[in-house]
A and B are shown apart, each in its own frame.
Chain A
Amino acid sequence: MAETAGVHVELVDNSFLKLRGEIKGPPDTPFDGGKYILDITIPETYPFNPPKVTFRTKIWHPNISSVTGAICLDILKDQWAAAMTLRTVLLSLQSLLSSAEPDDPQDAVVAKQYKDDFTCYKRTAKHWAVVYAQASACQNKEDVEALALFDKNIQQLMQMGFSEQDSRVALSSKNWNVEAAVECLFS
């Protein structure tokens, strides 16, 4: 498939029912330069029913579950049309990355952060993109400092004995407030 659009699909084994997709994080978003792997399952009734798509790469986005990678996108549900293709699906997912729909969230915690503290959301999303999707680092000096602080906070929680992943999830959900995150981890 067209590499130029930044989307790509390949077979996992020799059946056409399981595919692996890949999309590039679109420019001017926290996901810029990131590589996102998708698990695609084709139902037997395809294309009359939509393919099942989830994010394998972890991502911080209101419409994608930060835990399971499940996606909330209308065309993967009731707005699917039989004339659509995998290409349209991947391109739609790419455009979902550039324009989130916080009012129709999959991950309520992320969506709340998106609406209440957009800067924090953008930096958290960037942090996740750098860690999990090898996205390009930030340019803005303030952002660079903020992200460095995020890493420090994670280190701090890890010294207390929590795993890196748990620490990251707790801090991200609590706007990087160490005390709140610790409380959340203990409860």
Chain B
Amino acid sequence: MFSDCDDDYSFDDDLEYGSNSETSETPQIERKYNIVAACDVISEMNKYIDRVNEIFKIKRSLVRRLLVHFKWNPERLIEKYYESQDDCEGLFKEAGIVYIPESDESFKRQISRNSSDGTCLICYAPNSETIGMLCKHYFCKSCWNIYFTTQIMDNGIAENIQCMETDCSTFVSENFVLSTISGEDVQTRYHQLIAGSYISSNLMYKWCPRPGCGNCAEVLSLDVKHIVCSCGMEWCFGCGEPDHLPLESCQILKKWKQKAIDESETNKWLVINTKECPKCSAAIEKLGGCNHMICNNLNCSFEFCWICLGEWAPHGSEWFSCNKYVEDEEHVAMLSKERKAMERYHHYYDRYWTHKRSRELEQGDLVMFVQTKSQYIQDRLNVTWIEAQFLKEALNVLTKCRTMLQYSYILAYYLVRSPQTVIFEENQKDLEHNTELLSGLLDNQNFPRDEKELLELKMKLNDRAAYCEKRRIVLMKDVQSGYEKGIWKYRTVF
């Protein structure tokens, strides 16, 4: 278990500039949580089960199933138990447990060459070392392994895996599975499945959302939201999404995403602002000028009237009077209001999306590029690995700033304008400007040719990165204090 109560930046790459003293000053909620590995969750769960089992003194796996049935509420289980006058059978029945002896401790590896000719009856490999459980159905280890792996990885079954023999319902014990399966990912998944209901019934636990990470976060209070997993993933305990500070509310993020997914906004914009060319159906936005339209589609070039969408020729060229449709003023007013709302949304969405996309690109291409560059200066300019790390550190700062900017635009979209939002936007602007400069520096295709150029690059990057990190923290501080003082007002009621 990894205790991570006070110093949760210890996972970071220990930025020279994003120094700990600075981060601990940030007025964030005091974060208290533990990062627990899947196997430790199991042992914790088992300890819990054993405490309950002091009353029952039966097999642990049976108590676990009972607890699953009672949603990990031991009081209710024990109450029921005493109600039913120590009648375990009845309890099992209610919990839907078929009481079949599970060959737990008694699982033995038996080499059963004698039982038949040693042929595994699944893969038909001759003379294989076959193993089995108390039910005496023997198959080769490789078949058991594939069987367990398929059940765990493909079918998501871990709790009630049965013997492979037809009509044999002996449950396979945990020990048998764990001693047979190979591959860390299978083991992690197995642990996750076994502990699944324990975790999901406990409000204080959640799995790290990074695929393949088997860690679990245990918060000590439900106010805790910002989690830094030992795998490096920063995520939000509230919604299980990647970290979205400075936007605190998971609800707003959800709403924003829904809005973005819907695309209805885009369609609405098209409906309000464009008409289709009556000939080639291309969407056309009228930016000004008269109603004599000429389709920009070079294959079409159809001339038509914007108002009636009919061919232009009968309208004549000297005059304009199309009496087929008169737009009433109210309609125009409504349209322009909606149009404004649309434009506003697009303003924020474009910026949100740009930073998101930039971050994704930077995590791919730029990481590769920075690695190449760092290798280059190590090889050519006699620089040690540690000294070449300044590139990677600057890149880390860049990623953090991008994330912060991305979510800050969601916040900005929903905030009601006030003097404080002007300050917020200034901070945002400054961070954005410097982030772009940092990105440009990192992306510079010129490799330093000598020591002097290297020093210059290093100084420039370090300065810019340090400034960016500072601005990022300023923005964060500002937003956090706004939350604390209740300054931020939202445009929509959530």
7 cross-chain pairs, A with B, having the tightest CB-CB distances, nearest first: A82-B164, A48-B150, A81-B166, A48-B147, A83-B165, A45-B150, A83-B166
A81/B154 contact (C-beta < 8 A), A47-B122, A48-B147 known: no
**Closest B residue, CB atoms, query A84:** B166
Q: Which residues does chain B contribute within 8 Å of A48, judged by CB atoms?
A: 146-147, 150-151
B137, B155, B166, B168 interface centre (most CB from chain A within 10 Å): B166
Q: Are B166 and A88 in contact (CB under 8 A)?
A: yes
Instruction: Find chain A residues with CB under 8 A from B168 CB.
Output: 81
Q: State the CA gap A48–B147 with chains docked (Å).
A: 5
Tell whether, in the assembled complex, residue B146 and residue A81 are in contact, meaning their CB atoms are under 8 Å apart. no
A83 touches B154 (CB 8 A): no
- Bound together, the chains give a CA A82 to CA B150 distance in angstroms of 11
Residues of A within 8 A of B121 (CB): 83
B400 to chain A, nearest CB (A): 42
Q: Is the CB of A82 within 8 A of B122?
A: yes
- Give chain A interface residues in 64-86, CB to chain B under 8 Å: 81-84
- A41 at interface by CB-CB < 8 Å: no
The yes or no answer to B291 lying at the interface (CB within 8 A) is: no
Check A83 against B122 for contact (C-beta < 8 Å). Answer: yes
- Complex: chain A residue closest to B149, CB-CB: A48
Q: Measured between alpha carbons, how far is A88 from B165 in the docked complex, in Å?
A: 12
CB-CB nearest in chain B for A75:
B166
Judge if B167 is at the interface, Cβ distance under 8 Å.
Answer: yes
Number of interface residues of B (CB under 8 A): 18
Q: Output the nearest chain B residue to A47 by Cβ-Cβ distance.
A: B122
Least Cβ distance of A76 to chain B in Å? 13
Q: Is the interface of B mostly helix, strand, loop or mixed?
A: loop
Q: Within the complex, what minimum Cβ distance (angstroms) separates B140 from chain A?
A: 12
What 1/0 flags go to A80-123 for Cβ under 8 Å of B?
Answer: 01111000100000000000000000000000000000000000
Main secondary structure of the interface of A (DSSP, over half): loop
Identify the closest chain A residue to B164 (Cβ): A82
List 5 interface pairs A-B (beta carbons < 8 Å), by A numbering. Answer: A45-B150, A81-B162, A83-B121, A83-B122, A83-B166
Q: With the chains together, A48 CA to B166 CA distance in Å?
A: 12
Query: Do B137 and A83 touch (CB < 8 A)?
Result: yes
- Residues 134-179 of B contacting A (Cβ, < 8 Å): 137, 139, 143, 146-147, 150-151, 154-155, 162-168
**Whole-angstrom CA separation of A49 from B155 in the bound complex:** 9
Task: Please tell me if the beta carbons of A81 and B167 are within 8 angstroms of each other in the complex.
Answer: yes
Of B147, B154, B167, which one neighbours A82 at CB under 8 angstroms? Answer: B147
In the complex, chain B residues whose CB is within 8 Å of the CB of A82? 122, 139, 143, 147, 164
A49 to B167, CA, bound (A): 15
| Size class of the contact patch on chain A | under 10
Q: Complex: how many Å from CA A49 to CA B121?
A: 16
Set of chain A residues within 8 Å of B162, measured between Cβ atoms: 81
B residues less than 8 Å from A81 (CB atoms) = 162-168
Across the two chains, which residue of chain A brings its CB closest to B120?
A83
Interface centre among B150, B154, B163, B167 (most CB of A within 10 A): B150
Nearest chain B CB to A143's CB is how many angstroms away?
37
15 new A-B contacts at CB < 8 Å, known A49-B150, A83-B137, A88-B166: A45-B154, A47-B122, A48-B146, A48-B150, A48-B151, A49-B154, A49-B155, A81-B163, A81-B165, A81-B166, A82-B143, A83-B121, A83-B164, A83-B165, A84-B166
Inter-chain CA distance A88–B139, complex, in Å, is 19
Residues on the B chain within 8 Å of A84, using CB: 166
Contacts of B166 in A (CB 8 A): 81, 83-84, 88
B162 to A, closest residue via Cβ: A81
Task: Give min CB distance, B171 to chain A, whole Å.
Answer: 13
| A166 to B146 CA separation, bound complex (whole angstroms) | 46
Q: Cα distance A82–B122 when bound, in Å?
A: 7
B interface footprint on A40-56 (CB within 8 Å = 1, 0 otherwise): 00000101110000000
What string of 1s and 0s marks CB contacts (under 8 Å) between B160-204 and chain A?
001111111000000000000000000000000000000000000
Among B121, B122, B162, B163, the one with the most A-chain Cβ atoms within 10 Å of its Cβ is: B122
Q: Nearest-CB distance from B230 to chain A (Å)? A: 33
Shortest CB-to-CB span from B132 to chain A, Å, is 11
- Residues of chain A lying within 8 A (CB to CB) of residue B143: 82
Shortest distance between the CB of A97 and any CB in chain B (Å): 20
- In the assembled complex, the CB of A177 is this many whole angstroms from the nearest CB of chain B, namely 43
Which chain B residues numbered 442 to 491 have a C-beta less than 8 Å away from chain A? Answer: none
Q: Which A residues touch B146, using CB under 8 A?
A: 45, 48
Nearest-CB residue, chain A, relative to B137: A83
Q: How far is B320's CA from A43's CA once the two chains are assembled, in angstroms? A: 70
With the chains together, A45 CA to B150 CA distance in Å?
7
Which chain A positions have C-beta within 8 A of B155?
49
Distance in angstroms from B133 CB to nearest chain A CB is 14
